[in-house]
Structure 1
Amino acid sequence: MRYALVHEWLTPKATGGSELVVKEILRHIEADVYALIDFESTNPDSYLYGRSIGKTFLQHLPGARNGVQKYLPLLPLAIEQLDVRDYDVILSSSHAVAKGVLTTPEQLHICYCHTPMRYAWDLTFDYLQASPAGRGVAGILTRYLLHRLRQWDVISANRVDYFIANSNHTARRIWRCYRRSSKVIYPPVELDRFPFKAQKEDFYLTVCRLVSYKKVSLIVEAFNHLKLPLVIIGDGPELNFIRQRAKSNITILGEQPNEVVEKYMASAKAFVYAACEDFGIALVEAQACGTPIIAYQGGGALETVRDIRQNPINGTGIFFYPQTPTALVESVETFLEFQHQISSDSCHSMATQFTAKIFQTSYLEFLEDCCRHSRAKNFSKKFRFL
């Protein structure tokens, strides 16, 4: 059988959980790769270096390397230009439009969905408020484009034969947006990268892209009040805004290489996270280091973190709710009361539930089941026709 793997974009800056899924799939399945844009096959540091990758016309548009999302209205059109007719099985890794690739009735399409398109669904109003394109006459046009994008998103979901969700939270969102059921297979986490350290230092840490929905400004406001040491690692459009808001107890390091991130994760007293994530791979990475978590009580965190107050034996952190600075302040103060009850070994043990090996086994078994069911169904159709 011939396999094609379709992902949204492949660039040196795209190194999150969805890219880890692509990397892990290609370790076990010989597939040709397609994407809207590709700047990894020419990157000597990438596992895709030298690989032939199918691309779209977006590859040649100005500034595509630094963010093809600026061409949002063109993404559905672009993904539909990828010609994958010669393959038996299409494996899409989708957080935006990859699942919209055109297929034939004879092909099997399995989509690993990291999230239904955030800016078209859950984050529509955040996107409109944060962008100049969300105001005035431009705002009317943007709202119309997002409306049409939602329509296309639902239509394109019907091109998928089987959905995989990266968490139960995402599975519920897939059902809400597309009315499609999905198999939950947690993404792989490269646990070996993160050193285990039982002895912690006296600082808190957050690592993420500095965009509005990550709620880093909320963390800054809370720690301004707490006056406790906080380290922020990450880059993004909110970097300058956060620097202006942060007081002297907050250190902002910006973007850092992996070895620096790993060192801080292993040494932090606690890892703080305020976003509602679909899975939240950073929470698992921190726990792999034996580092406790202080996280917003929502999204994938409910599946990767155990609150010590409900799990006194094997708890790995503290949740806060609602998503406000005041709630986070109270949660940090509660953490200081319970920190000695949270074992670094419990944190590491929790992280081991999300290994690459577990992902490999679950994904390949599901793929085989889908292929078997698809072959049986096609045989049945041919038999009835004859």
Structure 2
Amino acid sequence: MNVVHPPRPAHQTMRVAIVHEWLEHYAGSERVIEQLLIMYPQAEIFAIVDFMPQAERSMLGGRPVHTTFIQKLPFARRCFRYYLGLMPVAIEQLDLSGFDLVISSNHAVAKGIITGPDQVHVCYVHSPMRYAWDMQAAYLRQGGIERGLRGLYARWLLHRLRNWDVRSAAGVDVFVANSSYIARRIRKVYRRNATVVFPPVDVDRFEMSTAPRQDYVVVSRLVPYKRIDLVVEAFRRMPERVLHVAGDGPERERIAALADNAPNIILHGRVSDEEVLRMMRQARAFVFAAEEDFGIAMVEAQACGTPLIVFGRGGACDIVRDMGDAGGATGVFFDEQGADAIITAVERFESIQDRITPQACHANAQRFSQSAFRQSMSRVVEQALHEMRPGTIEAT
């Protein structure tokens, strides 16, 4: 017999849930949540925990956040990440049964929420769990837990997380990746295809400059995987070129030691947003050696009209237009994470920099604007709703 389901409600009455891992600070993934809330002002928000400071909560528009039992566990405010092993259980306890559309913002466990056959689940992936998959060895090494009982427990926990991660991917109807690189990781880990929608960048905040430029700049957190050490080492061997390093983090002392006795390398530490804007607008080029999932700082530099000299892996490949691109070059790549490769790239850049204009860089950045994100994400969701709207099915 034929079973006919009622049509899905119109968008103005459609119930929408937005699920995030945790709300702690306003950063890259929170920018996605902010734009989703603009797209769906009626949406309700769910998260493992919510410890976002009052000064950063304006993006939520006064909405309450539905949290899990981890919110009330001892020392959760400071140490909620230590409850990682409980997060799959916690996320599965959220009751989303009354919603028509569920959008999860995932870099750990958010995609594991449970939905029914008449609900559409769209998952925006910042990255599959890096520490559980291809970067497990690096995380264990950096955490100093490669061996011993702690290392054994960590490997066991990550093994269980990998199994759960793959199983929970089956509950996602549509995967969306923040870059082509992450789309490939999704394909590798979950054996699923993903549509690429670049994350929203507030490019309007960064004004283009056509003034003469002389020095180089890197703006980044000083953590191991950012490989600021390679950039500093390269410029230490190029004393005739000045490098400005803005940012702070656990690698600061090591970076300062590498820059010792190198007057052409200026360490600024943590600087204000206004100072970052000034440095980017005055830079000859923005240099970056990390393999990023996407790379918002690179887009912000382009919005200032600043060329890029970056490692040609990860999200950078979606951002930089190299020589020969029809839209006009906006930077150059280097193929290895090493000081020698960076030096060669800087020399190559200087040989062609007259062919890289601030206007081309600024225009390139517009592809990653907040409005571009909303338009692209809206198309993905609309298509998912259209294709998965319950209709007539055959039942016996």
Instruction: Say whether the fold is shared (TM-score over 0.5).
Output: yes
Distance 1:67 1:307, change over 3 A: farther
Segment drifting more, 217-226 vs 243-252: 243-252
Distance across 2 between alignment mates of 1:66 and 1:194: 34
Unpaired runs of at least 5, structure 2 = 1-13
Structure 1 residue 68: Cα displacement:
3.7
Equivalent position of 1:323 in the other structure? 337
For residue 354 of structure 1, the aligned residue among 368, 371, 395 is 368
In the TM superposition, 1:92-107 aligns within 5 A as 92-107=104-119
Equivalent position of 2:286 in the other structure? 271
| 1:231 partnered with 2:244 | yes
Q: What is the SS of the residue equivalent to 2:204?
A: helix
Structure 1 residue 131: Cα displacement:
0.9
Structure 1 residue 214: Cα displacement:
1.5
Segment drifting more, 225-234 vs 96-105: 225-234
Residues 40 and 49 in structure 1, CA contact (< 8 A), matched pair in contact too? no
Distance across 1 between alignment mates of 2:344 and 2:126: 31
Structure 1 residue 312: Cα displacement:
8.9
Letter in 1 for 2:289: A
Q: What is the SS of the residue equivalent to 1:40?
A: coil
Q: Deviations over 1:59-91 (max 9, x none)?
A: 345664456434332332232232222211110
Q: Deviations over 1:221-250 (max 9, x none)?
A: 222222332222223332332223223432
Distance 1:67 1:185, change over 3 A: farther
Letter in 2 for 1:89: L
Segment drifting more, 245-254 vs 145-154: 245-254
Equivalent position of 1:363 in the other structure? 377
Distance across 1 between alignment mates of 2:102 and 2:126: 16
Equivalent position of 1:26 in the other structure? 37
| 1:123 partnered with 2:138 | no
Distance across 2 between alignment mates of 1:190 and 1:366: 21
Unpaired runs of at least 5, structure 1 = none
Residues 41 and 52 in structure 1, CA contact (< 8 A), matched pair in contact too? no
Distance 1:337 1:312, change over 3 A: farther
Residues 285 and 306 in structure 2, CA contact (< 8 A), matched pair in contact too? yes
Distance 1:183 1:338, change over 3 A: same
Distance 1:356 1:312, change over 3 A: closer
Q: What is the SS of the residue equivalent to 2:54?
A: coil
Equivalent position of 1:42 in the other structure? 54
Letter in 2 for 1:296: F
Segment drifting more, 241-250 vs 42-51: 42-51
Letter in 2 for 1:165: A
Segment drifting more, 77-86 vs 102-111: 77-86
Segment drifting more, 53-62 vs 364-373: 53-62
Q: Deviations over 1:45-67 (max 9, x none)?
A: 63226320011233345664456
Q: Deviations over 1:250-292 (max 9, x none)?
A: 2233333322222212111111111112221211111010000
Q: What is the SS of the residue equivalent to 2:267?
A: strand
Higher-Rg structure is 2
Distance across 1 between alignment mates of 2:66 and 2:305: 41
Equivalent position of 1:154 in the other structure? 166
Q: What is the SS of the residue equivalent to 2:58?
A: coil
In the TM superposition, 1:239-318 aligns within 5 A as 239-247=252-260, 248-308=263-323, 310-311=324-325, 314-318=328-332
Letter in 1 for 2:227: K
Segment drifting more, 106-115 vs 245-254: 245-254
Distance across 2 between alignment mates of 1:214 and 1:133: 21
Residues 194 and 285 in structure 1, CA contact (< 8 A), matched pair in contact too? yes
Equivalent position of 1:188 in the other structure? 200
Distance across 2 between alignment mates of 1:66 and 1:183: 35
Distance 1:346 1:303, change over 3 A: same
Give the alignment's Cα RMSD to 1 decimal: 2.1
Structure 1 residue 193: Cα displacement:
0.8
Letter in 2 for 1:361: Q
Larger RCO (CA under 8 A, 6+ residues apart): 2
Segment drifting more, 299-308 vs 60-69: 60-69
Residues 126 and 293 in structure 2, CA contact (< 8 A), matched pair in contact too? yes
Equivalent position of 2:357 in the other structure? 343
Q: Deviations over 1:278-313 (max 9, x none)?
A: 2212111110100000000111211110223x4498
Distance across 2 between alignment mates of 1:34 and 1:55: 6
Structure 1 residue 41: Cα displacement:
6.8
Equivalent position of 2:191 in the other structure? 179
Question: Aligned residue pairs: how many?
Answer: 379
Distance 1:222 1:53, change over 3 A: same
Residues 41 and 53 in structure 1, CA contact (< 8 A), matched pair in contact too? no
Letter in 2 for 1:232: V
Q: Deviations over 1:176-198 (max 9, x none)?
A: 00001111112221111111111
Distance across 1 between alignment mates of 2:57 and 2:264: 36
In the TM superposition, 1:48-63 aligns within 5 A as 48=60, 50-61=62-73
Q: Deviations over 1:159-208 (max 9, x none)?
A: 11111111222111101000011111122211111111112443211122
Distance across 2 between alignment mates of 1:287 and 1:244: 30
Structure 1 residue 130: Cα displacement:
0.8
